[in-house]
Amino acid sequence: MAKAQPKVALGDGFLQAFANIPRTKQKAVMNFVSKFRANPRAPGINYEVIRNARDPNFRSVRIDLDYRGIVLSPDQGNVYILLWVDKHDDAYTWAVRHRCQIHPTTGSLQLFEVEHEIEQRETDSSPQNIAPTPVEEQNQSDQHTIPATPLFNLEDDILLSIGVPQERLALVHSLTSEVALEKIERQLPIEAFEALYLLAAGTPLEEILQEYSLSKATEPVDIEDFEAALDNPVTQRRFHVPEDEQELGRMLNAPLERWRVFLHPSQRQLVERDWNGPVRVLGGAGTGKTVVAMHRARWLVSQPDWPKDARLLFTTFTSNLALDIADNLRKICTPEQAQRIEVVNLDAWVSQFVKRNGYQSTIVYPGGKDRHYDNCWSQAMALVPGELGLPDSFYKEEWQRVILSQQVRSRRDYFAASRVGRGVALNRRQRAQIWPVFEEMREQLARAGFVTVEDAIHHALNLLQTGSDKRSYHAVVVDEGQDFSAEALSLLRALVSEQRNDLFIVGDAHQRIYKRKTSFSHCGINIRGRGRKLKINYRTTELIRRYATALLEDVEIDDLDGGIDSTNDYRSLVLGQEPIIKNFSDIGGEVQWLVQQIEQLKVEDVSLSEICLVARTNRLCEDYAQILQNNGVPTHTLSRQKSDDRSQEGVRLATMHRIKGLEFRCVMMVGINKGIVPLSVAINSSQDVVERRLSDINERALFHVAATRAVRYLYISSHGAPSEYLLIKS
Ligand SMILES: Nc1ncnc2c1ncn2[C@@H]1O[C@H](COP(=O)(O)OP(=O)(O)OP(=O)(O)O)[C@@H](O)[C@H]1O
């Protein structure tokens, strides 16, 4: 009988090791891996048994004169897993220190260090040399302090259910602190370490089992069945079977971009399944919402029943994020899959759509560089009825919150419009007096050939609803769902028929910096039973996350569908260091300190392009750029239209709005002064208490967004009086 096709997988560690070898050697490894994937039993591939290896299934394979690969090659089945690559001796040392086996309870394939077992074995065999094992070491150090209480008071079967290997039970029972847990991280399989970390932080066991797809196996696990283990979602967190040569090429070309292949089980659960209608995925900053949305799009268009010629719309609020997503989708999709996905920010989509349908007007924005919108507004404001004594800010807010958002188009409409949530009450007569201002604004815009984005969206919606343009998509995936207006959400609803897998929306209202709260259900998007949340932060450290969320803790933040969302149910898995917060008497002192920090970071191997200085306004960005340059620090200001090209040298400069969606190893929030953050003109331009409160929430969200872009280091500095936000304790 013909032997089944061999299954070749790559571990995340292999890719990491591959990334670390010199470029000149990578070519040989690539050629080897390609040959190996095609036929791991090819005559030219010699499997050497590794003496001293704790894992009987480890073999070494020769790549060239110097380099060896470490492969898991079990006797049974037809599975080959590339685990590591390194120089001959280093590869062997790695192999001796690790073990890769199937967990008998969870059925996942686990990789972890066995160094401590080796030490133990050595001590066992030489009684005169009694070095303590890590467990003993910890117990010994604990003897000098208070009697140690175990960190986990859990039965063995519970520890086994979260993937702790049998041989690590004693070690886990002996732990008495989170610090001790962090120290043994590498001796545990990743999922067991994370589950213990989350348990220690107070996450309920049930939730962890659910997040990690660790529900009890219905059938007994066969610890020799490596093929079945590769299908386990927990295994897929670290091991991946490339579908074809192209996918293998994509993996090796970007070995450190783990998100491309290794989804966390909680992410995979959202991506690879049919949903019976619209899905809403919440998640704090850095929890992988964009990653999930991209994989969801790829998964949908790669299904065998995806109709020929059908299209998927992937949309976002900001244009830079749409650019990044289009780039990243190309990295995970085949050209055929990529062709089925249209990536465009919604405003641009609307503009193209209405133009194609004969609409001549150009969309203009308040505060736009061209000043078109603001000029029209000034003309309209000439009609303000002075006798009412309402401030100018009132009219702007009324225009945004009532006229545009409810598409009020006549005086009669205005009489009937809802003004719930507006601080100033108006009777019918007053509305009649005010109406001409808004009528004039539309007139001014129309005369100059302009339109607001709200009106253009409304027009697009009309075209679809009246059937004038039957454009539709087979599925719509949305990132930054929190920033879409009600009308925009209704438009998205109209773009795809109500059907299985129709809409997939990710978002986080803690990061809402443009619009006001909306509710999906009011826009015809019914997510009942299909609301989910991502809970692990991959980007920032825990201490940065805590600091960045503290500012929003007492603020009620919505869940995009009329409910409340919280910040205390997501975590980072690396503690990291506290953000550094400094105040200076003047900008000169501040910049001097920044320059010193930049120098220090360079010593720590952080390149200039991995540092981003963030300020509240464009003007401030320009000032800091100038002063840094005067101090000999090259800078590069991020533009609105282009994605950041990290090959360009220089410390990045960006406004808090521009940095949204990006991430940097080091973020320096600068000029966080009183009056600047929150921006006093943003808060005080309104005399309406409700508006002021909402503007303050937007400003807090902006601060939160900026702080959560930091991967490892967060510096916050001010000069003169510091912002009141800096006084809030994390
Ligand atoms: N499965 C994964 N494996 C490795 N890295 C991941 C994974 N998922 C996400 N990440 C990384 O975590 C970081 C945050 O991901 P992403 O931008 O998707 O989060 P987000 O929730 O959209 O963030 P935000 O809302 O703050 O913009 C990125 O660096 C991404 O590559």
Residue 664 is assigned to a structural domain of this protein: yes
189 CB less than 6 Å from ligand 1? no
Query: Residue 73 belongs to what domain range?
Result: 7-103+227-251
Instruction: Mark which of 409, 436, 451 sits at the end of a domain.
Output: 451
Asked if 200 and 343 sit in the same domain, the reply is: no
Asked if 607 and 683 sit in the same domain, the reply is: yes
Ligand 1, atom 25: closest residue by C-alpha = 285
Task: Compute the distance from residue 270 Cα to the ligand 1 centre, in Å.
Answer: 15
pTM of the model: 0.90
Pick 321 or 684 by higher pLDDT: 321
Structural domain tally of the chain? 5
User: Where is 87: in which H helix or E strand?
Assistant: strand 79-87
290 CB less than 6 Å from ligand 1? yes
Asked if 299 and 370 sit in the same domain, the reply is: no
Asked if 311 and 284 sit in the same domain, the reply is: yes
Which is it for the CA torsion 434, 437, 442, 443, positive or negative? positive
For residue 364 the two structure tokens come to: 């203009």
Residue 369 marked as a ligand binder: no
* Residue pointed to by tokens 């409810």: 406
Angle formed by the axes of helices 428-447 and 372-381, to 10°? Answer: 140
Residue 393 is assigned to a structural domain of this protein: yes
69 CB less than 6 Å from ligand 1? no
Mean pLDDT (whole number) for 396-411? 91
Task: Compute the distance from residue 536 Cα to the ligand 1 centre, in Å.
Answer: 9
Angle formed by the axes of helices 346-356 and 453-465, to 10°? Answer: 60
Residue 66 is assigned to a structural domain of this protein: yes
CATH classification of the domain holding 647: 3.40.50.300
Nearest residue to 252 (alpha-carbon basis) of 88, 32, 6: 32
pLDDT score of 216 more than 70: no
Return the beta strands (E) in 337-466 as ranges: 341-345, 362-363, 450-451
- Report the amino acid identity of residue 211: E
pLDDT score of 142 more than 80: no
Residues sharing a CB contact under 8 Å with residue 188, sequence separation 6 or more, in sequence order: 112, 164, 165, 168, 172, 196
Asked if 493 and 347 sit in the same domain, the reply is: yes
317 CB less than 6 Å from ligand 1? no
CA dist 257 and 251 (Å) reads 8
Asked if 275 and 312 sit in the same domain, the reply is: yes
Asked if 480 and 616 sit in the same domain, the reply is: no
pLDDT tens per residue across span 8-55? 999 999 999 999 999 999 999 999 999 999 999 999 898 999 988 999
Asked if 198 and 120 sit in the same domain, the reply is: yes
Nearest-Å Rg of the Cα atoms of the chain is 29
Asked if 46 and 154 sit in the same domain, the reply is: no
Torsion of CA 539, 543, 548, 554, to 10 degrees: 130
ipTM: 0.99
Pick 501 or 515 by higher pLDDT: 501
288 CB less than 6 Å from ligand 1? yes
Residue 273 is assigned to a structural domain of this protein: yes
Instruction: Mark which of 480, 514, 537 sits at the end of a domain.
Output: 537
Structural contact between residues 494 and 469, judged by C-beta atoms closer than 8 angstroms: no
Structural contact between residues 165 and 108, judged by C-beta atoms closer than 8 angstroms: no
Task: Compute the distance from residue 514 Cα to the ligand 1 centre, in Å.
Answer: 22
DSSP string over 594-648: HHHHHHHHHHTT--GGGEEEEESSHHHHHHHHHHHHHTT--EEEPPSSS---TTS
pLDDT score of 306 more than 60: yes
Q: Does the bond joining 678 to the residue before it have cis omega, within 30 degrees of 0?
A: yes
pLDDT at 9: 97
Residue 548 is assigned to a structural domain of this protein: no
Residue 570 is assigned to a structural domain of this protein: no
708 CB less than 6 Å from ligand 1? yes
Asked if 132 and 173 sit in the same domain, the reply is: yes
Asked if 589 and 712 sit in the same domain, the reply is: yes
Long-range CB contact pairs, 497-502, < 8 A, 24+: 497/472, 498/277, 500/274, 500/275, 500/276, 500/277, 501/274, 501/275, 501/300, 501/475, 502/277, 502/278, 502/475, 502/476
Asked if 314 and 417 sit in the same domain, the reply is: no
Residue 567 is assigned to a structural domain of this protein: no
Residue 62 is assigned to a structural domain of this protein: yes
